[in-house]
Structure 1
Amino acid sequence: MDNDDITLPADTLAILNEFLAERSKREHDEEQRMLNKTGKDAHFEEDWQLSQFWYSDRTKRAIGDALAKLVKEHNSSDFRIALLSCPSLYATIKDVHEQVNIFEYDQRFAAYGTDFVHYDFNAVDSCSDYLVEHHKRYDLIIADPPFLSEECMTKMSKIIINLQRSSASKLVFCSGEVVEPWLVANLPLHKCNFRPEHERNLGNEFVSFANFNFDHYIENNK
């Protein structure tokens, strides 16, 4: 007898279909539960191939405290923050302010739900409307470009110019000191006294840049 000729009684088939539907629903609900549980508390290891290096707890606290004061000064529910290539800041900033988006190439961070925006800084030269749905939306942008090169600084700067809500938007860059000439050639930034630290010691000297007195907010929160 050919297997294709085997059929189940209608009542048995109905029970089987009901069981399969319930199992599918349970699996879907469990996936959603785990996603919701993960949220901002997700923990990811650095991927050095993607040039990921996590900030130290001290640095995260310093930046988080500074941003808390900035958010309080603006006193607006529409105040929006963008984090570009600095995912280790996300949980800290999310505790400070609800309206934050994390722009990352690494798809693992989709665990952050609708706050996650997948992006590739290289795409900005091939599409004039790249990330157009996020243009002119952000009042504060923090960026930590993945590579210490003129090309990376130039492309990241183009994206940031598009993302800032206006020329009054505040910008903070954390990167190697070596990028200063390329960075200030594209954005109105100056080097700050604040020096971000990482969980692992890096060979390059890291500094911060901003278009406002970022040190004032850091120093007043020590």
Structure 2
Amino acid sequence: MEDEDIGLSADTLEILNEFLQEKAQRERDEMERIENRAGTNAMFEEDWQLSQFWYSESTKVALGKLVSKLLAEKPNVTKESYHIALLSCPSLFGTVKQIHNKVKIFEFDKRFSAYGDNFVFYDFNKADEDDYLLEFKETFDLIIADPPFLSEECITKISKIIKNLQKFEAKIVFCSGAVVEPWITKCLQLKKCRFEPAHDRNLGNEFVSYANFNLDTYLS
């Protein structure tokens, strides 16, 4: 006996398509809700095993002010091609995303893939591999980095990644411990600034900022 036709009827297909469309819309709404709440860190807890420490609200406001001022210097046409990279500082994403849409978050923690196309998985240990992150070579006008570890190896490798990601004359902000100054000045020729990034939790290490431009002027 031949198999019976088990295809769905037209009415059933219509109902199924409506259900799938509604489901897709709910997922889009949920993603928008996640992005809107990202600045409060409501969706993600710090993972201390990954050396994650969220910025304080005052630090996020200060760096958001920096982004706004840098964009204000650009003509409207240029703003559309202005790209920002956040390396290992996911708690800053929500603040920057509300100011400018062209922002990528480079993170080892795959939880942040919830940010969709804005998320780029990266591992600083792969910095010495040929053509690593080649698709983003010379893409970014502003790079803000906060490496997870205060070691010469980590600073050196993230510096190499930054060199590959930055456009010519890109602005770089490097938030890290005071102990990394000898390495960061050697690798990227950055200078220590007065701005001191703070965190929700009080950390024992002294945290400072480094930049290749007069960062403090933009934050005053």
In the superposition, the TM-score normalised over structure 1's length comes to 0.86
Residues 108-166 of structure 1, C-alpha deviations (whole Å, 9 max, x = no match):
111112111111111112x2201111010111110000000000000000000000111
CA 25–158 in structure 1, closer or farther in 2 if over 3 Å, else same: same
Secondary structure of the structure 2 residue equivalent to 1:183: helix
Shift of 1:171: 0.5
Aligned positions, number? 210
Structure 1 letter corresponding to 2:27: E
Match of 1:129 among 122, 127, 131: 131
Equivalent position of 1:180 in the other structure: 181
Q: Is the 8 A contact 1:40 1:90 kept in 2?
A: no
Structure 2 letter corresponding to 1:217: Y
Shift of 1:37: 2.9
CA distance in 2, matches of 1:28, 1:66: 36
Structure 1 letter corresponding to 2:49: Q
CA distance in 1, matches of 2:21, 2:213: 51
Equivalent position of 1:93 in the other structure: 96
CA 172–114 in structure 1, closer or farther in 2 if over 3 Å, else same: same
Match of 2:8 among 11, 14, 20: 14
Residues 1-222 of structure 1: pairs in structure 2 closer than 5 A:
10=5, 14=8, 18=13, 27-42=23-38, 43=42, 44-75=44-75, 76-77=78-79, 78-125=81-128, 127-166=129-168, 168-219=169-220
User: 4+ residue runs of structure 1 moved beyond 4 angstroms?
Assistant: 15-29
Q: State, as a whole percentage, how many aligned pairs show the same letter.
A: 54
CA distance in 1, matches of 2:67, 2:159: 21
CA 46–21 in structure 1, closer or farther in 2 if over 3 Å, else same: same
Structure 2: 5+ residue runs without aligned partners? none
Shift of 1:22: 6.2
Secondary structure of the structure 2 residue equivalent to 1:68: helix
CA distance in 2, matches of 1:99, 1:123: 25
Q: Is the 8 A contact 1:140 1:169 kept in 2?
A: yes
Equivalent position of 1:3 in the other structure: none
Q: Is the 8 A contact 1:122 1:155 kept in 2?
A: yes
Structure 1: 5+ residue runs without aligned partners? 1-6
Q: Is the 8 A contact 1:141 1:160 kept in 2?
A: yes
CA 21–66 in structure 1, closer or farther in 2 if over 3 Å, else same: closer
Residues 55-87 of structure 1, C-alpha deviations (whole Å, 9 max, x = no match):
100111111112211111133221111110001
CA distance in 2, matches of 1:199, 1:159: 27
CA distance in 1, matches of 2:151, 2:50: 15
In the superposition, the TM-score normalised over structure 2's length comes to 0.87
Secondary structure of the structure 2 residue equivalent to 1:174: strand
Superposition CA RMSD, Å = 2.2
Q: Is the 8 A contact 1:39 1:113 kept in 2?
A: no
Structure 2 letter corresponding to 1:120: D
Structure of greater Rg:
1
CA distance in 1, matches of 2:20, 2:120: 28
Structure 2 letter corresponding to 1:170: K
CA distance in 2, matches of 1:55, 1:136: 27
